[in-house]
C-alpha cells in the first residue's frame, strides 16, 4: 500500500470514528425539523452524524474534481494550501465545525488534493455501517420494470446487505446477459463471455 493510500485510509477512518463517537454521545440532527431554519446558537451546537459528514465530503470531493481548472489548482503545489482551504470555505460557508476542522488538518499537512480519495474511502466505511452495498450492473439492453423486486431480493442475498444501491449502465456489445460488480467481486454472465470461452476452446 502506497503512502498516499495509507494516508487516505487513515484520514477516512479517523473522521468516521470521530463523527460516530461524537454523534452517539450527543443528540444528533432531527430530520423532522429540516424545514425549520436553525438559530445561530443551534448551528453552533449542531452535532452532525456520520451521514451528514459523508454528504459534506461528497460536496467537497465533487467540487475538487468537477473541472480541469479546479483539479489543476488543488494538485498544484505552488499554490499555498490556505488559498485552497479559503476557496472551499467560500464555496461552502455553512460546513459543520467537524468538517472545517478536518479540512484544517488536511491544509496543515498539504493533503487537500486527497479529498476525492478520502470521500471514496469514507463511503465504503459508511456503507458498511449502514448495511448498504453499491452494485454495478452492466446489461446489453434496458432492464424491465418487472425485474426490479426479484433482482433486489437476489442482490440482497448475494451481497448480504440490507440496502442495495444500483448503478446500471448499458453495453450492447455484451449481446445479452449481464455483468455484476460489488465490493471486490465481479460476476460475468454475459453472452459475450460465453462466446469468447467457446472460441478459445475451438
pLDDT in tens, 2-44: 668 899 999 999 999 998 887 665 544 454 444 445 555 545 5
pLDDT at 57 over 90: yes
pLDDT at 52 over 50: yes
pLDDT in tens, 145-185: 777 778 888 888 888 888 887 788 888 888 888 888 887 78
Provide DSSP, the chain: --HHHHHHHHHHHHHHHHHHHHHHHS----GGGTTSPPPHHHHHH----HHHHHHHHHHHHHHHHSSHHHHHHHH-TTS-HHHHHHHHHHH-TT--HHHHHHHHHHHHTT-GGGHHHHHHHHHHHHHHHHTEEEEEEEESSPPPTTHHHHHHHHHHHHHT-SEEEEEEEE-GGG-SEEEEEETTEEEEEEHHHHHHHHHHH-
pLDDT in tens, 88-120: 999 999 899 999 999 999 999 999 999 999 999
Q: Going from the N-terminus, what domains does the chain have, and what CATH number goes with each?
A: 3-127 (1.10.520), 132-201 (no CATH)
pLDDT at 68 over 60: yes
pTM for the model:
0.68
Amino acid at each position: 500500500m502506497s503512502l498516499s493510500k495509507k494516508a487516505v485510509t487513515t484520514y477516512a477512518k479517523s473522521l468516521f470514528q470521530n463523527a460516530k463517537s461524537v454523534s452517539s454521545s450527543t443528540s444528533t440532527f432531527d430530520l423532522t425539523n429540516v424545514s425549520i431554519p436553525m438559530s445561530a446558537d443551534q448551528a453552533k451546537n449542531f452535532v452532525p452524524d456520520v451521514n451528514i459528514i459523508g454528504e459534506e465530503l461528497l460536496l467537497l470531493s465533487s467540487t475538487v474534481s468537477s473541472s480541469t481548472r479546479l483539479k489543476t489548482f488543488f494538485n498544484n503545489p505552488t499554490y499555498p494550501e490556505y488559498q485552497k482551504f479559503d476557496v472551499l470555505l467560500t464555496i461552502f460557508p455553512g460546513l459543520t465545525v467537524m468538517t472545517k476542522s478536518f479540512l484544517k488538518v488536511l491544509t496543515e499537512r498539504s493533503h487537500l488534493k486527497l479529498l476525492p480519495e478520502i470521500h471514496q474511502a469514507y463511503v465504503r466505511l459508511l456503507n458498511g455501517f449502514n448495511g448498504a452495498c453499491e452494485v454495478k450492473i452492466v446489461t446489453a439492453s434496458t432492464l424491465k420494470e418487472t425485474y426490479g423486486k426479484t433482482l433486489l431480493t437476489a442482490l440482497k442475498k448475494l451481497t448480504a446487505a440490507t440496502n442495495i444501491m444500483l448503478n446500471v449502465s448499458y453495453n450492447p456489445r455484451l449481446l445479452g446477459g449481464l455483468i455484476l460488480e460489488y465490493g471486490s467481486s465481479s460476476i460475468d454472465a454475459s453472452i459475450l463471455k460465453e462466446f469468447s470461452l467457446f472460441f478459445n476452446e475451438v
